[in-house]
Amino acid sequence: MIENLLAKIDPSKENDRKLIARAFELAKRAHEGQFREGGAPYITHPLAAAEILADLKLDSPAIAACLLHDVLEDTAVTEKQMEKEFGQEITFLVKGVTKLSNLTYRQQEESNLKTQNLKVASLRKMLFAMAEDVRVILIKLADRYHNMATLQTCAPEKRQRIALETLEIYAPIAERLGIQVVRHPVDRGFGGSVKTLFRTALAAGADYIVELHPDNQYDPRFVPALLEKARGDDYAIVIGSRFLPPRLALEGGMPWWKFVSNRVLTFLNGVLLGVRLSEFHSGLRVYNARWAQQIPLADLSDDFALGFQLVGQAVEDGWKVAEVPASCRYFREASSNPLRGSIVYGLGTLSESLRVFMYRTGLGAARRVRSSAPPVDQTQR
């Protein structure tokens, strides 16, 4: 269970590895019998958050504290015990995170106006905590990031509250740490988010746009390989494929029925588009800005269909699409759409590839005549 985390820690740092393993053991024991709302053992949560911090190369006390971040609040382990086993530094970090959690959870019981004031107050308090030790904030952001990634398992009311908190409290903090955040005041759907990504990156003068779904399924370490491929030739899109070779997806834990339907769908789409790829549905891609800036973005879907439509658009435009291997390990807890969603999505890809097929064979029209206005002008309709 802890292997993935330890694989991210320098093998020569024996003491760091021991400390992290010890923290994991205590957290696992303390959370024994507790479960996440989606049914997963509770320990999967601090573990996933700790992996995020390990990816960010935080030091071992921060990673250990992250593993222990819910222990003081939610288990029988006391502050005294923790200090005895892990010392002052780690206990201080855990206490800091616990304090921040209490701060934001309490406010929602208050009335409207009061809530507003408390939000500002808690924001300020978090900033004070940040001044004391920035690692507390980074642990809290990793905690929040994983909670957001697993939000689909929560009841609608809780979902809304956590999303709102993230929007109003955590996003501004991430910004103060120099992480650029783009907000939608209301949910614009998956496609709407990708469109914002395109517009933001194009407005910033990017040469390439990287799309990486934040559901922990894709490994950002493949991004350089995708970029290298993209720079090698005039591709519109380079896809990070989980199916190169195909059996990798099964070994990564993809359920067989999903694997089979994905294979069949990919074959049909490939034939219709005239593009031989091992998959079209990866959430890890690099787009060429020169292609991206002239596509009719506003005419594309605001929903999940957008991902495949972009490939169809590239084919329609006469641009090449390529892929490179990008194996992944996280199929289990990744955003497994309910079956109905998968079917709707699958049918959508078929209708899009049929449309492109008709266009290629002269039986159908292009999506639309392009406007000459620069794409940045379409921002925030």
**Binding stretches for Mn ion (CB under 5 A):** 70, 143
For residue 10, give every residue at least 6 positions away whose Cβ sits within 8 Å of its Cβ, in sequence order, or none. Answer: 16
Residue 288, CB-side half-sphere exposure with 13 Å CA sphere? 22
Helix (H) or strand (E) holding 275: none
Helix (H) or strand (E) holding 86: helix 79-106
Find, among 95, 212, 119, 215, the residue nearest to 172 by Cα: 119
What is the sign, positive or negative, of the torsion defined by CA atoms of 128, 129, 130, 132? positive
Cβ count near 195 (within 10 Å): 22
Residue 34 vs 379, nearer CB to Mn ion: 34
Find, among 332, 352, 327, the residue nearest to 1 by Cα: 332
Residue 100 vs 249, nearer CB to Mn ion: 100
For residue 70, the minimal CB distance to Mn ion (Å) is: 5
For residue 49, the minimal CB distance to Mn ion (Å) is: 7
For residue 32, the minimal CB distance to Mn ion (Å) is: 16
**1 exposed, middle or buried (CB, 10 Å; 0-12, 13-18, 19+)?**
exposed
Whole-angstrom distance, CA of residue 12 vs CA of residue 103: 39
For residue 140, the minimal CB distance to Mn ion (Å) is: 9
Whole-angstrom distance, CA of residue 271 vs CA of residue 128: 58
For residue 74, the minimal CB distance to Mn ion (Å) is: 8
Residue 148 vs 248, nearer CB to Mn ion: 148
For residue 119, the minimal CB distance to Mn ion (Å) is: 20
For 362, phi then psi, to 5°, come to: 80, 10
CB closest to Mn ion, residue no: 143
For residue 126, the minimal CB distance to Mn ion (Å) is: 15
Residue 122 vs 313, nearer CB to Mn ion: 122
Whole-angstrom distance, CA of residue 243 vs CA of residue 123: 44
Residue 70 vs 165, nearer CB to Mn ion: 70
Name the E strands within 114-161. Answer: none
Residue 73 vs 83, nearer CB to Mn ion: 73
For residue 143, the minimal CB distance to Mn ion (Å) is: 4
For residue 69, the minimal CB distance to Mn ion (Å) is: 6
Residue 143 vs 323, nearer CB to Mn ion: 143
Residue 46 vs 252, nearer CB to Mn ion: 46
Whole-angstrom distance, CA of residue 85 vs CA of residue 91: 9
Residue 162 vs 306, nearer CB to Mn ion: 162
Is residue 137 a contact partner of residue 173, using CB atoms and an 8 Å limit?
Answer: yes
Whole-angstrom distance, CA of residue 263 vs CA of residue 245: 12
Whole-angstrom distance, CA of residue 235 vs CA of residue 319: 6
